[in-house]
Chains A and B, each alone.
Chain A
Amino acid sequence: KQEVTQIPAALSVPEGENLVLNCSFTDSAIYNLQWFRQDPGKGLTSLLLIQSSQREQTSGRLNASLDKSSGRSTLYIAASQPGDSATYLCALSSNYKLTFGKGTLLTVNP
């Protein structure tokens, strides 16, 4: 059974700081890994998808990496902004379903 852990559970940083969110998983038999953000009371917005054969993906200030051998992924956010404040979730895809971590609540202070 796939288990996904996200550390830290909460993170507060000043605006402009670079930061890293971590995701670890137990089963490397995955289709892909996705990072999402969720604003309070809202649905999920997809940020990046890394296919199982890839090592990283980049979109703007975001960079996500995937290391299947160690069961780890990181989401790097450069030059953080107050608008980045949200809960960040990683999810592993296999057998037509996503298994989610509990998320990291990020607060970026002006």
Chain B
Amino acid sequence: KAGVTQTPRYLIKTRGQQVTLSCSPISGHRSVSWYQQTPGQGLQFLFEYFSETQRNKGNFPGRFSGRQFSNSRSEMNVSTLELGDSALYLCASSSLGGETDTQYFGPGTRLTVL
């Protein structure tokens, strides 16, 4: 079974631009989550989707948004990029997102904002 895939792997943008990151979960998984990882803050939860519905959202500004498609693939969008948005963005998938479910992470997208 293929793992979680994320595209692109690396991105360089300038302040004020917007960016869209993509995540394809493991086949059969319906829960997709997004996390931001920075050296200072560590791993922080962005949002979680299940069957195209957002079930939880982290404490990030409205510039961060996401969506999930009917095939469980997910995208996240960051508008009006700031220097502080430079980070590794990780996507994780699981069967249902429940108590017994292991979260499987993708390799991440490294975003650099100049």
- B99 touching A51 by the CB < 8 A rule? yes
- Given A42-B108, A51-B100, verify A96-B56 contact (CB < 8 Å): yes
User: B37-53, CB under 8 A of A: which get 1 and which 0?
Assistant: 00000111100101000
- Shortest Cβ distance from residue B26 to the other chain A in the assembled complex, whole angstroms: 12
Asked whether A23 is an interface residue with its Cβ less than 8 Å from the other chain, the reply is no
- Given A42-B108, A43-B90, A43-B106, verify A97-B100 contact (CB < 8 Å): no
- Shortest Cβ distance from residue B86 to the other chain A in the assembled complex, whole angstroms: 14
- Given A89-B43, A97-B45, A97-B48, verify A46-B100 contact (CB < 8 Å): no
User: A43-74, CB under 8 A of B: which get 1 and which 0?
Assistant: 11110010110000000000000000000000
Asked whether A28 is an interface residue with its Cβ less than 8 Å from the other chain, the reply is no
Asked whether B33 is an interface residue with its Cβ less than 8 Å from the other chain, the reply is yes
Interfacial chain A residues near B104, Cβ < 8 Å: 46
- A43 touching B108 by the CB < 8 A rule? yes
- A32 touching B99 by the CB < 8 A rule? yes
Q: Of the candidates B4, B45, B92, B98, which one forms a contact with A31 in the assembled complex, judged by CB atoms under 8 Å apart? A: B98
- In the bound complex, CA of A56 to CA of B94 (Å): 21
- B102 touching A97 by the CB < 8 A rule? no
Question: Mind listing 30 A-B residue pairs with CB under 8 Å?
Answer: A32-B99, A34-B103, A36-B105, A42-B108, A43-B90, A43-B107, A44-B90, A44-B92, A44-B105, A45-B105, A46-B102, A46-B104, A49-B102, A51-B99, A52-B99, A91-B43, A91-B103, A95-B55, A96-B31, A96-B33, A96-B50, A96-B56, A96-B97, A97-B45, A97-B58, A98-B33, A98-B45, A98-B92, A100-B43, A103-B42
Which 7 pairs of residues, A with B, have the shortest CB-CB distance?
Answer: A31-B99, A100-B43, A44-B105, A43-B105, A97-B45, A96-B48, A43-B107
Footprint of B on A, CB under 8 Å?
Answer: 31-32, 34, 36, 41-46, 49, 51-52, 89, 91, 93, 95-103
